[in-house]
Amino acid sequence: MLRRYIVFLMISISCFHVNCCFADDFQEHILKYTKKAARTIPPLFKRNNRQEIANNMVYPFERPFPVPDIQNKAEFLQRFDEVFDEIVIKALANAEQKDFEEIGWRGIAYSGDMMVWLSDDIYKESRPPKIRAVMYDTDKTKQIYQALIEQDKRFIHPTLRDYIAPDMIFETKDYIIRIDRIQYNKYRYASWKQGQSLKDKPDIILENGEYFADGTGGNWHITFKNGIYRYELYRYIIGKDETPDAELLVYKNDDLILNQDIIHIKDSFY
């Protein structure tokens, strides 16, 4: 019995030592990365050289739906003012190392007046940090967003024109699915068969969908109920290599009757 306890204690101490070493190593890389970020990012914005900034962005660069994502450097240069205005440029130009910090599992970000996320290259010391997301909407982005909403409400079938904000448009092999937010934390599901247009009347409209966060990794799902049927739409931000980006599950009572992977997630309405 004593022998087992000693073995267990030795294993525990060994694991503790490994974990401590890993944590120390990780923090060392974080420190190196934030130093590198402070040396790399602010000078780009002090010089305000758009070509240099374009070379230090991650593409495709995500924009708030339904504003289309920016696919490459050439497109970024055309849409530069949509992403960076004087407020962001000044903030990043004056950033110091203390302004770049680890935000849990999500990575490294400038965390001043807005969140500016950097590329996940903490262990790749030869690579300079790049900007992968800006959690701030410039006035130009807001104008484009509002214009797209107004255009959409003229285009889409009249039964769907009442919504607070669009969420996403997905496609499976058989269906086109649109999710809109109609109230705080309440969502609407509309679907069409492939080949139809969003101008057509949807085959199915379900309201009062509920949003659920699945852990802290960014995964989520929305559940819609229609009598004995339950529709569940899952979005996977993290997962295994074989995990789809999203999937649709439909239950009759508790029996699964449909399971289709999402094969396309649109970054704009049309």
CB 222 within 8 A of CB 211: yes
Phi, psi at 233, each rounded to 5° = -115, 115
pLDDT for res 249: 97
pLDDT for res 119: 80
pLDDT for res 226: 94
pLDDT for res 20: 43
Give the C-alpha separation, 112 to 92, whole Å: 9
HSE-CB of 63 using CA atoms within 13 angstroms = 24
CB 85 within 8 A of CB 139: yes
Q: What is the pTM of this model?
A: 0.79
Give the C-alpha separation, 114 to 134, whole Å: 8
Show Cβ contacts of residue 31 under 8 Å, excluding neighbours closer than 6 positions. Answer: none
Burial of 28 (0-12, 13-18, 19+ CB in 10 A): exposed
Which parts of the chain fold into alpha helices (H)? 2-47, 50-55, 73-78, 80-83, 86-93, 139-155
pLDDT for res 265: 86
Could you report the average pLDDT of every consecutive run of 10 residues in the chain (270 residues)?
A: 43 42 59 83 94 95 93 97 95 90 75 80 65 93 95 95 93 96 92 95 96 84 96 88 91 96 79
Strand partners, 168: 179
Residue spans of the domains in the chain: they are 13-139, 157-266
pLDDT for res 18: 38
pLDDT for res 218: 80
Per-position DSSP letters for 124-185, written without gaps between them: -TTSPP-EEEEE---HHHHHHHHHHHHHHHHHS-GGG---SEEEEEEE-SSEEEEEEEEETT
pLDDT for res 47: 94
